[in-house]
Each structure stands twice: as structure tokens, then as C-alpha cells.
Amino acid sequence: EIVLTQSPGTLSLSPGERATLSCRASQSVSSTYLAWYQQKSGQAPRLLIYGASSRATGIPDRFSGSGSGTDFTLTISRLEPEDYAVYYCQQFDTSLWTFGQGTKVEIK
Amino acid sequence: EVQLVESGGGLVQPGGSLRLSCAASGFTFSRYSMNWVRQAPGKGLEWLSYISSSSTLIYYADSVKGRFTISRDNAKISLYLQMNSLRAEDTAVYYCARDRSTMLVGDAFDFWGQGTMVTVSS
């Protein structure tokens, strides 16, 4: 089973700052199967990025994904008030999906 | 508008059973693979099970294999999760989620329901 480790656990930033979230896999992951989600308190997750770098429908262009192999990154270019949330990466391998443990982006 | 609405959650004793349902609308349900994902209180997301559009491919996480059964009824536009031999550690919000693509196994989940809470306690 591929384990995804996200860092940092918590990111404290001010509105307008750049957020860089990391997702590291225990084995190489196909970029096709790497996704990022945003989850706000009390809400269901929302798909942000699929295929490592493609934005889902309706996602603002301040969100971008990059990476390959075992290292993937979600970048939020300028934090808006509505971006404070928990972010999860997800991967698929063979017949199993796994999620990272999440990174919380909080207001500094 | 795509909508997924889960139901069937509640309080159940350890060792008991529960059947969750997910009613879909706003898209051609029979074309899409579906998933169940759960989230224990204060914890992260855990994928549980996948079913392809025609039910020919079914996958489970090791944590629920042999205890949970995923199924779907395309005529009733519904997804199900039969949960048996429930344990305290199964306490969580259970979400159904749609695969983004109709073509690619392993794609991301583009629509999620709001979830239904399952509490396993005596």
C-alpha cells in the first residue's frame, strides 16, 4: 500500500500570502492518479486538482498542482479568506485509493 | 445539478449491521463508477470501497473487506453500503463520491454527498 505523507501538518499564513503544501509518496505514483481536495469544517471534501496538475471545474487559477514520481505540491498563489481549510492529497494504485493525513491552512 | 444524498446512518451496537444508501440525481448514474469514503471524528479521509458503473469491478479497503458490501441499483439510481460486524472504530461520517471520469479506473472523486453519521456504541 502506498502511503502519502503530507507536510506541514499546519500552515499558518496571512491572506494574500503564498501557500505551498507537500505530498510525498512511499513509492512512485502515476501523475494520472494524484488528486488534491479541500475540506472546510463540517463540509464534504471538494475536488481541486486531478491528474496532479489539472484544475477541476470551477476551481480558481490561484490553485495549482505540480510534481511527479513521489513528490507532489499544491500551491495557492495568494490566499483568500475562503481558502482556509484542510487539504488532502489522494492517490490510486492497482485497486486501492489512499489519502494523505491532511494539511491544515490556518490564518496567521 | 449533480446531487448525492446519503441516508441510513445512526446509532448501532457493536457487532450490529447497518445499510447506507446514496441517492443520485443530476447525471447519468449508470455511466459512472462510485465510491464510499469515511471520516472518523476529527480524523482524515479513508477510502472504503469502489464499484464500477455496471458492478463488474468492486474493490475494498483491507479495513472493511469481508464485513462491508458495496452494491448499486442503476434502475433506482442508488448506491448502497451494507455494513456488518460493526466495531467502535467504524464510527465516522460516511460519504458517497462519484468518479470524475467514466473511462478511467482510479480517477479522482468530483462530487461528494454531505455524508451520513454512523455511531457504533453500546
Q: What is the pLDDT of residue B39?
A: 98
Q: What is the pLDDT of residue A38?
A: 98
Rounded to the nearest angstrom, the minimum Cα separation between B49 and chain A is 9
Q: What is the pLDDT of residue A64?
A: 98
Cell 505551498: give the residue. Answer: A20
Band of pLDDT at residue A86, cut at 50, 70 and 90? very high
Which residues of chain B form beta strands (DSSP E)?
3-7, 10-12, 18-25, 34-39, 45-51, 58-60, 68-73, 78-83, 92-99, 109-112, 116-120
Search chain A and give the residue with CA nearest B63: A96
Touching B: A residues 1-20, CB under 8 Å = 1
Mean pLDDT of the region A57-76: 98
Touching B: A residues 61-80, CB under 8 Å = none
Closest to B100 measured CA to CA, from A19, A99, A49, A62: A49
Q: What is the pLDDT of residue B71?
A: 98
Give pLDDT tens digits for A14-42. 999 999 999 999 999 999 999 999 999 99
**Average pLDDT of chain A, as a whole number:** 97
Q: What is the pLDDT of residue A94?
A: 86
DSSP state of A42: T
Give pLDDT tens digits for A35-59. 999 999 999 999 999 999 999 999 9
Q: What is the pLDDT of residue B44?
A: 98
Is residue A88 within 8 angstroms of chain B, CB to CB? yes
Closest to B8 measured CA to CA, from B36, B46, B48, B44: B36
CB B95 within 8 A of CB B5: no
Q: What is the pLDDT of residue A95?
A: 86
CB B38 within 8 A of CB B46: yes
DSSP state of B40: -
- What are the residue ranges in chain B where pLDDT is below 50? none
Choose the closest CB to B100 out of A1, A47, A96. A47
Search chain B and give the residue with CA nearest A58: B110
- Residue A14: burial class (beta carbons within 10 Å; 0-12, 13-18, 19+): exposed
Q: What is the pLDDT of residue B104?
A: 85
